[in-house]
Chain A
Amino acid sequence: KQEVTQIPAALSVPEGENLVLNCSFTDSAIYNLQWFRQDPGKGLTSLLLIQSSQREQTSGRLNASLDKSSGRSTLYIAASQPGDSATYLCASEGTYKYIFGTGTRLKVLA
């Protein structure tokens, strides 16, 4: 049974810092790894999708990497801004099923 873990559970940083969020999964037989952002009381917004054949994806100040053999993915946020404050979740996709980590709650201080 796939288990997804995210570390740290919460993070508070000053504006402008570069930061790394970690995601690990127990079963490396995944199809894709997806990162999401969730604002309080809202649904999830897709940030980046890394297919199993890829090692990383980039969108603006976000970069996500995937190492299937070690069961790890990282989300790198460059030059963090207060607007980046949210909960970030990763999800691994198996056969039809997307299993989520419990998220990292990020607060960027102005």
Chain B
Amino acid sequence: SQTIHQWPATLVQPVGSPLSLECTVEGTSNPNLYWYRQAAGRGLQLLFYSVGIGQISSEVPQNLSASRPQDRQFILSSKKLLLSDSGFYLCAWSEGQELFFGEGSRLTVL
């Protein structure tokens, strides 16, 4: 069966520091991969999605970037965090229909 792993689960970072959140999917090949952000009291905002290795689509201009170095690995990065980057980050995958989520990473920028 397919599983999705996302880490770290919790992160507290100072303003201006770098960020790296990692997500891996097991048990499937060539999945579509997604990064969402959920700010307090708000809905899920699609940040990036990828339909293949090296193929990244950005949905919202922001301080973040994404990479897909391997088929089942998706990384969310920032060179310098802003206070507004705080939130709950969720990785997800699909094979074209049903969407499945990881457990999320809570980022607090101080």
Contacts and interface: CB of A to CB of B under 8 A. Distances in A.
Interface string B82-99: 000000101010100111
Interface residues of B, number: 25
B104 A102 contact: no
B101 A43 contact: yes
A51 B97 contact: yes
B46 A99 contact: yes
Contacts of A44: 44, 90, 92, 101
Candidate in A89, A91, A96 with the most chain B CB atoms within 10 angstroms? A96
Interface in A71-110: 89, 91, 93, 96-103
Contact of A102 (B43, B46, B90): B43
B89 to A, nearest CB: 10
A34 interface: yes
B74 interface: no
Contacts of A101: 43
Contacts of B49: 96-97
Interface string B3-44: 000100000000000000000000000001010100000111
A46 B98 contact: yes
Candidate in A42, A91, A98 with the most chain B CB atoms within 10 angstroms? A98
Interface of B: 6, 32, 34, 36, 42-44, 46, 49, 51, 57, 59, 88, 90, 92, 94, 97-104, 106
Interface of A: 31-32, 34, 36, 41-46, 49, 51, 89, 91, 93, 96-103
- Which 7 A-B pairs have CB atoms at the shortest separation, nearest pair first? A102-B43, A100-B44, A43-B101, A44-B101, A43-B103, A43-B104, A49-B98
